Amino acid sequence: MKIELCGVGLKNPLIAASGTFGFGREYDELYDISCWGAISVKGITLNPRTGNPPPRIAETASGMLNSVGLQNPGVDAFIRDELPRLVERGIIVIANVSGSTEEEYCEATRRLSDSPVAIVELNISCPNVKQGGAQFGTSAARAHEVTKMVRSCCRQPLMVKLSPNVADIAEISKAVVEAGADVLSLINTITGMAIDTRTRRPVLANITGGLSGPAIKPVALRMVWQAARAVGVPVVGMGGIESGDDVAQFIMAGACAVMIGTANIMDPMAGPRILEEFRVYLESEGITDVRELVGSLVTDETSA
């Protein structure tokens, strides 16, 4: 089950996805969270954020919408109050960094440089306030620019989390790798909305939000497969994973590891359950090294 991600050793390829696991405190009351290969913590910004007004979460068919708005205590409070507890447990910590300007991304990343954070995950699905709110990750040029700037001030391996709200995921993947990304993670949520027909108003106060959960898994699988074929760096896949079989599918598509998000909200015990299901799958298939499964998808192209 062991893998290596940019020189960082993980005991297994399952990572708790940012935004659904907080800083692990609540889940640690239910089971030993050190069972995860790594934990990507709640998205961190340079300064504290209160997030969007409620309601900011809504259930949908086979998924959920969220517009939490990156509520977090800020990078300094994370380093002081949350990180030591995780590191003391021997947990591999991935810090998900967000921002509204390139400067905010860079300064938050600099403050993490001397910390025991193992990997920095750059969330480029945030709106760039200098460009009228357009997301950093929706154009190859913007994605390249912010990745290059953060790479210049990041001492840890740099993972870039890609938005699915693009025309060509391979183009974006190549752009951020060219700018210095060591690993890609995808996909982030798909923009969606819900309407209350009784009030004739949006269900979310922010009107739109990010769709996650099983509903987006086919899109996520397709994009992971395309990204893995387009670049020569490791890919971490996510989007709708809720079973050990789902994990196997993403790894076959080219992911070397996976992140599990919404499943943790649907089932607080999802982490250890999915890990055991995946272990049983590997055993049943006679696979002694999980790396044998990476990119093993057979298509007409590969079998020809």
Domain membership of residue 206 (yes or no) is: no
pLDDT recorded at residue 303: 56
- 41: DSSP letter: P
Residue holding tokens 């390249």?
A: 144
One-letter-per-residue 3-state SS of 187-233? CCCEEEECEECCCCEECCCCCEEEEECHHHHHHHHHHHHHHHHHCCC
Asked whether the beta carbons of 233 and 256 are under 8 A apart, the reply is no
Residue holding tokens 């991304």?
A: 105
Number of domains into which the chain is organized = 1
d(CA 92, CA 4): 12
Domain membership of residue 207 (yes or no) is: no
d(CA 165, CA 235): 18
Domain membership of residue 205 (yes or no) is: no
Ranges of the chain with pLDDT below 70 = 127-134, 302-304
The predicted model scores a pTM of: 0.96
Active site residue 6: no
| Token code pair at residue 219 | 């899109």
d(CA 228, CA 155): 24
> Amino acid letter at 22?
G
pLDDT recorded at residue 65: 96
Asked whether the beta carbons of 6 and 256 are under 8 A apart, the reply is no
Query: Looking at residue 274, which CATH number applies to its domain?
Result: 3.20.20.70
Asked whether the beta carbons of 190 and 211 are under 8 A apart, the reply is yes
Residue 38: CB partners within 8 Å, gap ≥ 6? 5, 8, 10, 15, 16, 91, 92, 93, 94, 118, 119
- Domain with 218, as residue range(s), is 3-51+69-189+212-303
Domain membership of residue 284 (yes or no) is: yes
pLDDT recorded at residue 206: 93
Q: Which helix (H) or strand (E) holds 63?
A: strand 63-66
d(CA 23, CA 18): 9
Domain membership of residue 57 (yes or no) is: no
- 79: DSSP letter: I
pLDDT recorded at residue 41: 98
pLDDT recorded at residue 135: 82
pLDDT recorded at residue 131: 59
Domain membership of residue 63 (yes or no) is: no
Domain membership of residue 296 (yes or no) is: yes
- Alpha helices (runs of H) in the chain, residue ranges in sequence order: 25-28, 75-77, 83-88, 102-112, 140-151, 169-178, 217-230, 244-252, 262-266, 270-284, 300-303
Domain membership of residue 200 (yes or no) is: no
106, 126, 154, 256: which is the annotated catalytic residue? 126
> Amino acid letter at 82?
E
